[in-house]
Chain A
Amino acid sequence: MLKIKNLNVSTADNIQILKNLNLTINEGEVHAIMGPNGSGKSTLASVISGDPKYIIKTGEITFFGENLMELEPEERAVLGLFLSFQYPVEIPGISLNNFIKTALNQKQKALKLKTLSPKFILERIKENAKILKINLDFIKRSVNVGFSGGEKKRAEIFQMLMLEPRLSILDETDSGLDIDALKIVAKGVGRLRNGKSSFVIITHYQRLLDYIKPDFVHVLSDGKIIKSGGPEIAKMLEEKGYEWI
């Protein structure tokens, strides 16, 4: 579903971050991306979702055959792309509840489908909140405002469950989560794992991968994928560090 070919990406000040990167993700697959700090993992996630901060110098990104580079971030979202941000931003004055409703109905509008009834949305909210053990009062709070680190991550996964994306990129969603929360997040991901939805899981730790078994593990270093393989790579990294490669 996602094909990235020879991708070269720079910042506005022309610092090259991604170098000739290639990655293919098929339906139903889970890919883990690991790599040292500053290697370009978040940049890759941002570029796939269309953050205008980054400039694509050369290369191709297609999603279900569509040239992603020609699409606005919101159009990519409508196609079923979701990013769980490493650092979710605060939006004061808008409740998570209202925000997710707006997002769902904007998507309906873009797909020329009819507006979802508040009742229907509420049912979905309740259902997903239950899975993630989120209190309904929490959903009334302003998006990410004053959320603890773990709460922010949980709120991201909540949005993911609500939007039912076809490809979800989780950028260090496990960082800052306690063991129980980690299991809950894994359960959330498991719910969408139906053989059709795919995941890119960016992480530094093996532990999330214990709960969400990846099909492939890639190691990103200095903007390049330097190693790809199965789950065993993650285990080796955990034991021996990046030196091992």
Chain B
Amino acid sequence: MGSEKNKTLKEITKNKYQYGFVSKIETEKFKPGLNKKIISLISSKRDEPSWMLEYRLKAFDALQKMTPPNWANLKIKPIDLQKIIYYAAPKKPKYNSLDEVDPELLKTFNKLGISIDEQKKITGVAIDIVVDSVSVATTFQKTLKKLGIIFCSMSDAIKHHSELVKKHLGSVVPYTDNYFAALNAAVFTDGSFCYIPKGVRCPMELSTYFRINEAGTGQFERTLLVAEKDSCVSYLEGCTAPMRDENQLHAAVVELVALEGAEIKYSTVQNWYPGDEKGNGGVYNFVTKRGICFNHAKISWTQIETGSAITWKYPSCILKGNNSIGEFFSVAVTNNFQQADTGTKMIHLGKNTKSTIISKGVCAGKSNGSYRGLVKIAKSAENARNFSQCDSLLMGQNCGAHTFPYIESNNNSAIVEHEATTSKISDDQLFYCKQRGIPEEEAIGLIVNGYCKDVLKKLPMEFAVEAQKLLEISLEGSVG
């Protein structure tokens, strides 16, 4: 059915980025460039304690001895760190009620369909919204406070919970880990901090909407989640960005600490500006996400990646404790000229540790998607188990899907299973749907959603709908 389908696919993949607009919020920002002076300025702007500045400067020293990684299956134009602005914040950073918030900003949220008002009403989701680098509104603090849960911006945490931050920051992702982690440690401006006390089950989904807002501004969030013994939390992170021509660098670091018996579920829907149909612009997304599990702890990463021009991201679990569990569920959609190299690392150190990896890649247009995963079984990891399933779905003839599974097993009692499939949406499937009255565009959406179902069902309810919408937007959207 060749040309007919190609035509529709072309129209589908031509779909404009719906969230591309720039909100006119007055912004305070620094001059571009990266040096010790800028770092000191970032630190003093935020009234940080001296240990924080020292940490940043050490990270900067480490960064200068490092080079960007080049092993990923990505074509990246060199990034000039000196051309980036390292700090931008809305002029009036804190509000008590919505009335005080810049109407332009509210409009932005409305366009995104995530007005704070609406969000407040939805099933008790606490929201910590990060516009550029400073938190603007934090809600539901009271309920959380009663339980002893801390959910605040990283800058607040550094000021008010200094000891906790000092103890855990960099404990899972040290600044020596990689180039982007070092960069982040040196210049991060904000992000979220979350602390769940011993035995507490957080009664609501904690959610953060990130948004890059200022031209030429690098965004370097830092997120730290600490779940004390036998506690439980589900955390949501979602992103959209306005349309831009110049590339925007994003290098976030997320650290999760799941102490004995704790459970952390971390879900992401990522929809940053992917660049236009010609491959111009778009966000460069280099993220280091890692969690550590102590005895009987569990960390689950779920991600829906639809945006960014380049994605470099491997949410990982260090299964340090005995009987700990790591999970990774991922849908990565690439379209047009997008490139994604994403996957996970499961490092089994403890006995009876278990990990599950389910990765679904969907490639359309001229895009390239790679799954890269490492399953490492240490000598100490008696009876470790891993199951990995990596599927790719190709749409059209010009895209590519690649799978790079690495397995290092140093213990004979380990069982590691890996399954991989590559499929296409078949003409017969499309015809079957159409014969029932379902047009091509909807049929593709239906089939893709079906293909990703195993991952979508891992998302919290509130997010699942949004994620399905995103999949449709990135693949079918507004034709004609």
Measured in the bound complex, the distance between the Cα atoms of B433 and A90 in whole Å is 11
Count chain B CB atoms within 10 A of each CB in A88, A106, A107 and give the residue with the most: A106
The stretch of A29-37, A92-100, A130-138 in contact with B is: A92-100
The reply to whether A99 and B436 contact each other, CB–CB distance below 8 Å, is yes
* Bound Cα distance from A90 to B450, whole angstroms: 11
**A110 touching B437, Cβ below 8 Å:** yes
Once A93-B449, A94-B446 are accepted as A-B contacts, the answer to whether A107 and B434 lie under 8 Å apart by CB is no
Tell me how far the C-beta of B433 lies from the nearest C-beta in chain A, rounded to whole angstroms: 7
Interchain nearest-CB distance for B2 vs A (Å): 8
List A contacts of B451 (CB < 8 A): 92-93
Q: How large is the interface on A (under 10, 10 to 19, 20 to 34, 35 or more residues)?
A: 20 to 34
Q: Is the CB of B439 within 8 A of A72?
A: yes
Q: Tell me if B438 is interfacial: C-beta within 8 Å of chain A.
A: yes
Judge whether A77 and B432 touch: CB under 8 Å. Answer: no
| Neighbour of B435 across the interface among A83, A92, A110, CB < 8 A | A83
* A245: B residues at CB distance < 8 A: none
**At the interface with chain B, which of A46-54, A178-186, A188-196, A223-231?**
A46-54
* Contact digits for A120-138, partner B, Cβ 8 Å, 1 yes 0 no: 0000000000000000000
Pair B438/A53 contact, Cβ less than 8 Å: no
A-B contact count, CB below 8 Å? 79
Contact B427 A106 (CB under 8 A): no
Does A163 interact with chain B (Cβ within 8 Å)? Answer: yes
Interface residues of B in 103-131 (CB under 8 A from A): none
Chain B residues within 8 Å of A102, by CB: 438, 442, 446
Compute how far the CA of A142 lies from the CA of B450 in the bound complex, rounded to whole angstroms: 9
Counting CB contacts under 8 A, is B57 at the interface?
A: no
Residues A93 and B436 in contact in the complex (CB < 8 Å), given A52-B1, A52-B4, A53-B1:
no
- A103 beta carbon closer than 8 Å to chain B: yes
A91 at the interface (CB under 8 A from B): yes
Q: A52-B431, A73-B431, A106-B442 are in contact. Are A92 and B450 (CB under 8 A)?
A: yes
Task: Closest A residue to B3 by CB, please name it.
Answer: A52
| Pairwise interchain contact A89-B436, C-beta atoms closer than 8 A | no
Min Cβ gap B216→A in Å is: 41
- Chain B residues numbered 390-445 whose CB sits less than 8 Å from any CB in chain A: 426-429, 431-440, 442
Collect the chain B residues with CB atoms within 8 Å of residue A78's CB: 437
Bound Cα distance from A39 to B305, whole angstroms:
49
Tell me if A43 is interfacial: C-beta within 8 Å of chain B.
no
Query: Does A159 sit within 8 A of B, measured CB to CB?
Result: yes
Residues of A within 8 A of B429 (CB): 89-91
**CB within 8 Å of B: which of A63-103?**
72-74, 76-78, 82-83, 85, 88-94, 99-100, 102-103
B452 within 8 A of A: yes
Taking CB atoms, residues of chain A closer than 8 Å to B452 are 93
**Closest-CB distance, A207 to chain B (whole angstroms):** 26
Whether A103 contacts B450 by the Cβ 8 Å rule is no
Contact of A163 among B4, B436, B449 (CB under 8 A): B436
Which A residues touch B454, using CB under 8 A?
93
CA distance A85 to B434 in the complex (A): 13
CB of A91 within 8 A of CB of B438, answer no
Which 4 pairs across A and B sit closest by C-beta, in order of nearness? A93-B450, A52-B1, A77-B437, A73-B434
Between-chain CB contacts (< 8 Å), 14 pairs? A52-B5, A52-B431, A74-B437, A74-B439, A77-B435, A91-B446, A91-B450, A93-B449, A93-B451, A94-B450, A99-B446, A103-B438, A142-B450, A163-B437
Q: A52-B431, A94-B453, A106-B439 are in contact. List 13 more A-B contacts (CB 8 A).
A: A52-B1, A52-B4, A52-B427, A73-B431, A74-B438, A77-B437, A83-B435, A85-B435, A90-B429, A91-B432, A91-B446, A93-B449, A103-B437
